[in-house]
Homo-oligomer: A and B are copies of this chain.
Amino acid sequence: MKKKVAILGATGIVGYNFVKILDKHPFFEISELCASKRSKGKKYKDALKGEIDTNISYKTRNMIVKECTPNLDAQYLFSALSPDIAGKIEKDYAEKGYIVFSNAKSHRMKKNVPLIIPEVNWNHISMIDNQKTKGKIITNPNCSTIGLALGIHPIDKYFEIERITVVTLQAVSGAGYSGVSHLQINDNVIPHIEGEENKIINETNKILGNLNFNNEINKRKIKIDVHCNRVPVSNGHSESVFVKFKSNYSFSKIKKIWNNFKPEKRYLDLPSGIKQPIIYFDKNNYPQPKLHRNLAGGMCISIGNLKKSVNFHCQFVLLVHNTVRGAAGSSVLNAEYYYRDFG
């Protein structure tokens, strides 16, 4: 018997990515699609912003969208709600007993809410013991953070990172289906994304932090600088990363660590789990969004062009599919880990 799941905020880009991943999922079955008043009562295919893929199942295409009503016929909820409403709605559902897997920023930095990239810090899941509600809230990080934190985690474990400076070149899908108009971004770069830089700084230090005996996080204190740019790319955030370590490192070791990084065996066969979450390309013009964003169905990140830095120790380029691994895909992976461990 599959677990019933509802998608909150199902008609935006992240919501639609939840639908694409969950439409024929072996553990989960979409039982409810929720969105705002505007979409209420419409068939999903008609409520969706943008055009629906021809290979979404007939049942899902024609499911009637409802509002986020108090009682949903589902056990797990996937939230792609916008941050202005996510906070309250998710909390209400947690109180009612639902397990909420959220992509919204609202609860990410809360003391008792785990912020999880499963291959990196699944052990943080025990933070939910500090949630007093019957249900629980489990969050995944911001799209750029996921790429960065997943990419640096394995080398941080070996060489302890002291400082990072990152410049991002972010895709337009990060701003939603109609978030960036063609007139704005074609032939252009917008050198600012509201609120993004602080998210990357704070979330990274939470994710890489250590869980203490009270199931709280002692955050890392990596010194992080970020500058975010929006570029005319549909999907796939590129990041130019400069890293300084505390211990001795070598380039050959770094490359080996990345290519050998693996999830725990117990989770390897999960539907969204992949054997190699990080692919290192030994080419200076790789990775590129158009070529590599969809590797492993968009669930792995790519790294390339590792070289020496004078102000840090090394510099490299990293690519993450922002709406798959960087959003819906990560949340579903969280749910699969949860399902395996807690049912």
Contact = CB atoms under 8 A, between A and B. Distances in A.
Interface of A: 50-51, 54, 163-165, 167, 169, 172-173, 177-192, 223-225, 227, 229, 231-234, 238, 240, 242, 284-292, 295, 304-305, 309-312, 315, 317
A275 B70 CA distance: 46
A182 B186 contact: yes
A234 B186 contact: yes
Copies of this chain: 4
A173 B223 CA distance: 36
12 contacts: A54-B295, A165-B312, A177-B183, A181-B181, A186-B186, A188-B233, A188-B289, A189-B288, A191-B286, A192-B284, A225-B311, A225-B315
A267 to B, nearest CB: 24
Given A172-B181, A177-B181, A180-B182, 11 more contacts: A167-B240, A169-B229, A172-B182, A172-B183, A182-B182, A188-B290, A192-B305, A225-B315, A229-B238, A232-B233, A311-B311
Contacts of A289: 187-189
Contacts of A311: 163-165, 223-225, 311-312
Contacts of A164: 311
A180 B312 CA distance: 31
Contact of A291 (B51, B167, B240, B288): B51
Contacts of A233: 187-189, 232
A54 B290 CA distance: 12
Given A286-B191, A305-B192, A310-B224, A183 B234 contact: yes
